[in-house]
């Protein structure tokens, strides 16, 4: 259910188990340190991820969850202080399609409700184009996604 994600030890252990099994080089997630983040799921998802990354790297921490794994990088989106921008010129359509699939977010994220739902594709595309242009400018790119990059894991 929306708003009910928890970031307690049991959930963190499951994320740790997945990190050790999948062994990703790069992990992406919500920035849990973002100021004034009011959505509880986003805060909890961020804490779950960074806590699990820290746990997954330590072999003495729950060896029953698999062998230790330390990713090369952690990329946190919606960061207050981004320090890395990825060029994303060719992926605008995929991002728009993904966001349009989340109809439950139309009102809260895009201000779309009632009769405006018919305009969702153009509203979401304009939102995405503006955001990617803003992020890209941080690195002199046409379009980009901004992250907080952490490599000291």
Q: How much is the pLDDT for 152? A: 95
Q: How much is the pLDDT for 11? A: 96
pLDDT tens figures, 69-89: 999 999 999 999 999 999 998
Q: What is the mean pLDDT of residues 33-38?
A: 92
Spatial contact of 70 and 19, defined as CB atoms under 8 Å apart: no
* Residue 108 pLDDT grade (very low, low, confident, very high; cuts 50, 70, 90): confident
Q: What is the mean pLDDT of residues 13-27?
A: 98
- Cα–Cα dist 121/101, whole Å: 10
Total-model pTM? 0.89
* Paired residues of 77 in beta bridges: 30, 147
- Cα–Cα dist 102/95, whole Å: 11
């Amino acid at each position: 259910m929306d708003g009910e994600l928890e970031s307690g030890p049991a959930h963190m252990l499951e994320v740790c188990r997945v990190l050790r099994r999948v062994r990703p080089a790069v992990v992406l997630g919500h920035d849990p340190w973002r100021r004034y983040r009011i959505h509880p799921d986003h805060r909890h998802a961020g804490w779950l991820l960074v806590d699990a990354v820290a746990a997954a790297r330590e072999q003495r921490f729950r060896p029953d969850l698999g062998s230790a794994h330390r990713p090369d990088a952690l990329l946190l989106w919606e960061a207050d202080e981004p320090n890395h921008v990825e060029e994303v010129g060719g992926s605008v359509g995929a991002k728009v399609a993904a966001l349009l699939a989340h109809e439950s977010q139309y009102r809260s994220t895009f201000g779309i409700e009632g009769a405006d739902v018919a305009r969702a594709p153009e509203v979401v595309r304009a939102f995405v184009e503006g955001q990617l242009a803003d992020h890209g400018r941080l690195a002199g790119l046409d379009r980009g996604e901004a992250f907080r990059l952490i490599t000291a894991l």
